[in-house]
A and B are shown apart, each in its own frame.
Chain A
């Protein structure tokens, strides 16, 4: 498959009074055309910062990209000036933010907010832009667009506002759409509608989507591939089936085990003990070791490299080393794997 975006060894740091926070510590992934890549992880794992770097939104001067590159159509985005970046942002790469209440301008009519990008990036006249804005409102499923286009954000409900945000993001037919927790602030029924909408639009426009979330249920629904982030690094990446039915990293086990499924019985949830590490002084070795009940001695000494599990599936844990002892994943995770081995074995091994 053609990749549209390649991120190589990306590092992002933020200077603070306490020292330099290493928010992203060497992230590699590529995004293929027309696919949805979900990035999951808890707060502070660096998932949002990674995508902010893609958008050129790492706030200077505190935020820096000391190492790494982001290749988009042959250009390294980390090297571009702010002016050059402005031409890409909103046109080729655009973003949907988490909170539809704060990401719209409350003093501007929604129509004008949608038209802004069209006039700026595509030199459209006001009439053209308005026509396109009406089409977009229709596309994202807002009834009565003629009337709605002249209303202000406060006249919309949360779900409708998020639709407006999506319309703005889609205005210039971006090649890459970054959605940062787009449904977290919404009710489940509205969340389901927005996700369906995004999938339909993706089919129509062949957009590549990076979908950030901490809700694994949402991931299972939207993603083609999944990257699991922990302490500024990707610890496991693979197709959605790889990660859900054949997870290899103990952190992924913990995440999957900590969510009750609707048919899970009275057993105790697997809680990952402790809290994420301090990224001003990242721990030596594997950053997850201190919270990992399966940690090996080497985890406290040396950082694990990415081990290949299959063509599509990689995980950074010493448990995959050929000398590592065989460790059985927790019961809740093994139940998932059963389903996988019946249909996935011949495909993957």
Chain B
């Protein structure tokens, strides 16, 4: 793989003040790099901060501290309208809920072409229409769909519209926040295949956020596991699944239901004690090439 970094996240923190006294540390100092052309999976249970991370990277939230460098430029220091606009064009997002993320009062054409208009990517009306039709075909819909409204589509089709909207401005990097968890199994496979195909054709880089671990493994090159606002383990997906080191990763992997009755009968579940886990003094350390684990100096020596 080409080791050109498209995104560098350094000590990113996102804290939300809920009252005078309490602060929720949704993301509490995470660092990782994403290489151009790869799919980086981010997994963890609800509330671990994985969606907040995605939203902070794309500037939907202003980071509390830390930096996010996209193509070498810190996205949170962009000031001029021009810079922000060009950043928005390069990074797009696909949302979890295809029902809530499309405006019900806009036609599919209006939804998809909004970005084209904002960035002035089409010279005239005809060029815009052609582009929308082309995008619809790319995602497996057809041009008759352009004049319809979101409610006329099924969940899987709506998610395709969401993907077409993200592709409309020709981004390099797409954040997909649980793009398939609201879809049926047979439709999930369609959408995942589509995303893979688009990645190959257009050289896209994905940050794929999900809690379905078998799908994440299937689509990702590398995976980071998040727990309580921190990354506890990061490795190549093959390595992570065959050789998990952190006790939280182990418990998460052991809980994945596998569609194989024999396997299920002999399942051994690893239980992770959330309350007594104390990551104090632990930092992310590289155990072997490309495999990082959140651990203390002592644990590090043992694992190495």
Interface set of A (CB-CB < 8 Å, partner B): 42-43, 158, 187-192, 196, 214-221, 240-241, 244-245, 254-262, 264, 268-273, 275, 336, 339
Contacts A187-B46, A240-B261 supplied; 11 other A-B pairs, CB < 8 Å? A43-B155, A217-B214, A217-B258, A220-B259, A259-B259, A260-B215, A262-B258, A269-B189, A269-B192, A270-B189, A271-B190
A-B residue pairs, 9 tightest by C-beta: A217-B257, A258-B189, A260-B218, A42-B184, A187-B45, A216-B259, A271-B189, A272-B186, A269-B189
Cβ of B277 under 8 Å from chain A = no
A-B contact pairs, 23 of them (CB 8 A): A42-B186, A158-B46, A187-B211, A189-B255, A191-B255, A191-B257, A192-B254, A214-B184, A215-B185, A216-B257, A217-B258, A217-B259, A219-B259, A220-B261, A221-B264, A255-B186, A259-B189, A259-B259, A260-B218, A268-B196, A269-B218, A271-B189, A339-B262
Given contacts A220-B264, A221-B267, A269-B218, contact A261 B258 (CB under 8 A): yes
A262 and B267 CA atoms in complex are apart in Å by 14
Query: Nearest CB to that of A43 among chain B residues?
Result: B184
Residues of A within 8 A of B154 (CB): 275
Residues of A within 8 A of B241 (CB): 262
Cβ of B162 under 8 Å from chain A = no
A216 CB to closest chain B CB (Å) equals 4
Cβ of B252 under 8 Å from chain A = yes
A220 and B189 CA atoms in complex are apart in Å by 19
Interface size on B, residues (CB 8 A): 40
Given contacts A217-B259, A244-B261, contact A259 B46 (CB under 8 A): no
Cβ of B247 under 8 Å from chain A = no
From A214, A217, A219, A264, give the contact of B256 (CB < 8 A).
A217
Whether B257 lies near A262 (C-beta < 8 A) is no
Cβ of B171 under 8 Å from chain A = no
Q: How many A-B residue pairs lie within 8 Å, measured between CB atoms?
A: 113
Query: Nearest CB to that of B216 among chain A residues?
Result: A260
Whether A261 lies near B259 (C-beta < 8 A) is yes
Residues of A within 8 A of B262 (CB): 339
Chain B, 172-227, CB within 8 A of any chain A CB? 184-190, 192-193, 196, 211, 213-215, 217-218
Query: Nearest CB to that of A183 among chain B residues?
Result: B257
A245 CB to closest chain B CB (Å) equals 8
| Residue of A219, A255, A275 contacting most chain B CB atoms (<10 Å) | A275
Whether A192 lies near B215 (C-beta < 8 A) is no
Cβ proximity bits B78-118 to A, threshold 8 Å, 1 near / 0 not: 00000000000000000000000000000000000000000
From B256, B259, B264, give the contact of A256 (CB < 8 A).
B259
Residues of B within 8 A of A214 (CB): 184-185
A57 and B262 CA atoms in complex are apart in Å by 36
Residues of A within 8 A of B192 (CB): 269
| Residue of B188, B196, B253, B272 contacting most chain A CB atoms (<10 Å) | B188
Cβ proximity bits B257-278 to A, threshold 8 Å, 1 near / 0 not: 1111111100101001000000
Residues of B within 8 A of A275 (CB): 154, 156-157, 187
From B157, B196, B255, B260, give the contact of A261 (CB < 8 A).
B260
B262 CB to closest chain A CB (Å) equals 7
A241 and B215 CA atoms in complex are apart in Å by 24
Cβ of B251 under 8 Å from chain A = yes
Whether B214 lies near A258 (C-beta < 8 A) is no
A336 and B155 CA atoms in complex are apart in Å by 30
A190 and B262 CA atoms in complex are apart in Å by 22
Whether A244 lies near B184 (C-beta < 8 A) is no
Whether B257 lies near A220 (C-beta < 8 A) is yes
A331 CB to closest chain B CB (Å) equals 15
Residues of B within 8 A of A257 (CB): 189
A215 and B257 CA atoms in complex are apart in Å by 8
Whether A272 lies near B189 (C-beta < 8 A) is yes
Residues of B within 8 A of A240 (CB): 261
Query: Nearest CB to that of A273 among chain B residues?
Result: B190
A154 and B129 CA atoms in complex are apart in Å by 49
Given contacts A42-B187, A258-B186, contact A268 B156 (CB under 8 A): no
